[in-house]
Structure 1
Amino acid sequence: MRILHTMLRVGDLERSIAFYTNVLGMQLLRRKDYPAGEFTLAFIGYGDETDQTVLELTYNWGVDQYELGTAFGHIALEVPDVHAACEKMRAAGGKIIREAGPMNAGTTIIAFLEDPDGYQIELIGEKHQRT
């Protein structure tokens, strides 16, 4: 078994695709409208779905926002240099909500940014310790 994808409901599919491709450097892998169900799915990621976990962006036609709730935490991305990644993402229009620095009660360098729908994305330096 393996994890195939994580699904996020988004209020504006074009805005979300632009964020994940332009700010985070992912690729739009596939997209399909489902008129009978009034929704569109877009799959994005850093590599082919056959061997990579990807994100599924679900746009329910006519729904422009969701309450995020308190259960979901964040998506984590490994980057070579958290400071440099923050600057690059900020320059591309990304909203940094926690600047690069050591995590609370640890030494791993992390940062957080927020996607257009308010989902948090954690950036973690490549050489972090897995706990």
Structure 2
Amino acid sequence: MTTFTEKAPGVAEEIPTAAAGFTLNHSMVRIKDPEKALHFYTHVFGMRLLRKLDFPELQFTLYFLTQLSPEDSVPEDPDERTIWTFSQRGLLELTHNWGTEDDPEFAYHNGNSDPQGYGHICFNVPNLESAETWFEDMGVEFIKRANDGKMKNVIFVKDPDGYWIEVIQAELMGGAGK
């Protein structure tokens, strides 16, 4: 099976037959306080909580969030909704290890301070200028505003756990890179 891909060292020219049909379902970040994190992602970024899964024996909870479209039909039955959730693309999984919210000294590494590793997630918005104003109104912490630095039309903000979120408007990205 052949499909479009840009060329770069290490890129397969064809999709391996064994990998046909694989899709990226979700990326996970750990959160200290679920109430703060859920408030941020649902109020500031308009995400919806699709599924909450508790694992008492392991003392953690998973929260699966996404941006829903009006045509999305989310099943009401919990088991069907779980299956539906795990068949979607591009979800954000927030993992809460119980008790972290009670420790004032506890913090996760955001991946951008040394040693660097994980970087960020990214949201595409319909209007970057309006989004920047919205973030200001919501008291969101900025790392970089749209007109700061050498890379214009890109915003970086922090979530309650210090993870970076890139915010772009796709129509403004045409001239990015070489």
TM over 0.5: yes
Cα deviation, residue 66, structure 1: 1.4
Larger relative helix fraction: 2
The alignment partner of 1:101 has SS state of: coil
- How far apart in 1 are the matches of 2:145 and 2:48? 25
Residues 41-50 or 15-24, more deviating: 41-50
Question: Pairwise mapping of residues 61-76 of structure 1 onto structure 2 (< 5 A)?
Answer: 61-64=98-101, 65-69=107-111, 70-76=116-122
Q: Which runs of 5+ in 1 are unaligned?
A: none
Q: Percent identity?
A: 37
Rg larger in structure: 2
Residues 44-53 or 55-64, more deviating: 44-53
Contact 1:7/1:58, CA 8 A, preserved across alignment: yes
TM-score normalised by L of structure 2: 0.66
RMSD (CA atoms): 1.9
Equivalent residue for 2:153, pick from 72, 90, 109? 109
Larger relative strand fraction: 1
Q: Which runs of 5+ in 2 are unaligned?
A: 1-21, 73-84, 102-106
Contact 1:103/1:109, CA 8 A, preserved across alignment: no
Equivalent residue for 2:56, pick from 35, 38, 48? 35
Aligned to 2:89: 52
The answer to whether structure 1 residue 26 and structure 2 residue 47 are counterparts is yes
Cα deviation, residue 99, structure 1: 1.1
Q: Specify which structure has the bigger relative contact order, considering alpha-carbon pairs within 8 angstroms and separated by 6 or more residues.
A: 1
Cα deviation, residue 126, structure 1: 2.1
Cα deviation, residue 33, structure 1: 1.3
Equivalent residue for 2:169, pick from 119, 125, 129? 125
Contact 2:23/2:89, CA 8 A, preserved across alignment: no
The alignment partner of 1:44 has SS state of: strand
Q: 1:33 corresponds to which letter in structure 2?
A: D
Aligned to 2:9: none
Equivalent residue for 1:78, pick from 84, 105, 124? 124
Equivalent residue for 2:35, pick from 14, 21, 24? 14
